Chains A and B, each alone.
Chain A
Amino acid sequence: MDPYSALDPAGTPAALSLRLFYGYLDVSAVVFTLVIAALGFALGRPRQPAADYQEASPAIERSKSRAVVWATVATVLTLLGLLIASVATGHAMALLPAEPPVRVQVISHKWWWEFRYPVSGSATQFSTAYELHIPVARPIQLELVATDVIHSFWVPSLSGKRDAIPGKHNVLFLQADRPGRYEGQCAEFCGTQHANMRFLVVAERPDQFVAWRDHQLASPPPPSDPLRQRGLEVFMNSRCSSCHAIAGTDAFATVGPDLTHLGARRRLAMGTLENDSTHLSHWIEDPQAAKPGVQMPSTPLSPEDRHALVAYLEGLK
């Protein structure tokens, strides 16, 4: 299974698109063969070499015209068929969803993805980054918000892309038919780090999803061991806390991703790095090395402090 590919659909819209694509591909293959064959045939006809200009005989001309007219008619019909297929597929995709969808707000920043559950209502809301968890076989309604420039939300295995445009309210429906992890990324050029603006869609069984959500709502327990306590201090007293939030602490900043459950995420820096203490440590020390131009500044810390900080962050499961 290829988590990046549109050729390996795991969701209804993607599957429909792919089916249509293969349809077009077959037609194209036939057309290509026919045209090239005709061309080859035309060239291959052994007649006297065309040294000089010659009038073709009216009869041949007439037959040629007939051929061209028919070919054109055939083209028109084929294209008509393709058009109908396309529009039909488009409608089939638009029909989703039948049941009330799970609504998630997707907020695109330079250069990271924020996901807010649920979109609204007085129910308690939480925010996470990089990982978009969804229940399988449920339509998901994503409300795409752009905070700076145009970004485009794309999960090849699940659905076509949809732009998040400043000043415009865009909605995208998703549905994962089978559990799994699907890679997503920003598809619209959005500046220096466009390349490293990935995210991960984790489709899980409804019960797992609910469990995950409740876990997200709960603040992680305050650090018990001295090392991680030190880590928390470092976090609060260094640059970290002026951009990042961690529930249960006094860090409420919203410039960077919410780190409340950082330890539980599969990758760092929008999928650029493995999520382990070594990478995290390097990332904190010099983010510009991994993501030149990223808005996160480097945070020089004494080795002990960085060790403590990393221990604390990695512990935020």
Chain B
Amino acid sequence: MERLIFALFLVIIAAAAGCRREQRRFSEAPEASELHPDPLHAAQRDQQNLERYAKDAWAISEGQRLYGQMNCAGCHGHGGGGGMAPPLMDSQWLYGSGLRDIERTILSGSARGMPAFKDRLTRQQVWQLVGYVRSLSGNAPSSAAPVRDDHMSVRPPPSRTDPEPPTQQVD
């Protein structure tokens, strides 16, 4: 009987091996496709990756790092409250709140002076950033959203921020 139970537990554990939670992809396979992109394939890949990255804790935290290193924080605020540039933690999205919209904005910038990061970031990095940007307004799963960094605490943790229903702002 005891043996039976232990066997049962072994099965449970083994079952876990199936799921790949928190696997860290250090580099996405076809980086080269950025040089000669097959548009259709690229579009599918982007959509899938965007969705995956938007709920991946590690990807989001990489996005958090880039948000600081690429000076996003300088304009949008360390907590996404905005400054020279609009806030990212509120419900208003000038250029759309969809993953693809945010990706586009980061890649090609905006007419109002946001620089294009097409040449400064890999696609993967952009996806990571998109994930982080979404988390700022509470739109990331709380289990994946960042909690705090080791710096001055300037805002309530994104993981505890209630999701803002996105609205298009007319300005």
Interface with A: B13-21, B120-128, B130-138, B154-162, which one? B120-128
Check A297 for interface membership: any CB of B closer than 8 A.
Answer: yes
Q: Which of these binds chain A: B1-9, B27-35, B98-106?
A: B27-35
* Interface: A242 (CB within 8 A): yes
The 8 A CB mask of A226-259 against B (1 = contact, 0 = none) is 0000000000011100110000000000010000
Q: How many residues of A contact B (CB 8 A)?
A: 19
Main secondary structure of the interface of B (DSSP, over half): loop
Find out whether the CB atom of A286 lies under 8 angstroms from the CB atom of B31.
yes
Q: How far is the CB of A151 from chain B (nearest CB, A)?
A: 14
A297 and B124 within 8 A (CB):
yes
**Contact present for B70 and A239 (CB under 8 Å):** no
A residues in contact with B34, CB < 8 Å: 300
Task: State whether the Cβ of B112 lies closer than 8 Å to any Cβ in chain A.
Answer: no
Q: List the B residue with the shortest CB-CB distance to A294.
A: B26
Contact of A298 among B24, B27, B65 (CB under 8 A): B27
Residue of B nearest to A255 (CB): B69
Q: In this assembly, does B38 line the interface, its C-beta being within 8 Å of a C-beta of chain A?
A: no
Which chain B positions have C-beta within 8 A of A97? none
B residues in contact with A255, CB < 8 Å? 69
- B60-85 interface bits toward A, Cβ cutoff 8 Å, 1 = contact, 0 = none: 00000100011000000000000000
Which residues from chain A contact B65 at a C-beta distance below 8 Å?
A: 295
A255 to B121, CA, bound (A): 13
Q: Which residues of the partner chain B approach A238 to less than 8 Å between Cβ atoms?
A: 119
For residue A299, which residues in chain B have a CB less than 8 angstroms away from its CB? 122
Which of B26, B35, B70 sits near A292, CB closer than 8 Å?
B26
Q: Are B32 and A166 in contact, with the CB atoms below 8 A?
A: no
Most chain A CB neighbours (cut-off 10 Å) among B70, B120, B122, B150: B120
Residue A122 lies at the interface, judged by CB distance under 8 Å to chain B? no
Specify the chain B residue showing the minimal Cβ separation from A147: B150
**Which B residues form the contact surface with A (CB < 8 A)?**
24, 26-27, 31-32, 34-35, 65, 69-70, 119-122, 124-125, 150
Q: List 26 A-B contacts (CB under 8 A).
A: A148-B150, A166-B150, A239-B119, A239-B120, A239-B122, A242-B120, A243-B69, A255-B69, A286-B27, A286-B31, A288-B26, A288-B27, A292-B26, A293-B24, A293-B26, A294-B26, A295-B65, A297-B27, A297-B121, A297-B122, A297-B124, A298-B31, A298-B122, A300-B31, A300-B32, A302-B35
Interface residues of A (CB under 8 A from B): 148, 166, 237-239, 242-243, 255, 286, 288, 292-295, 297-300, 302
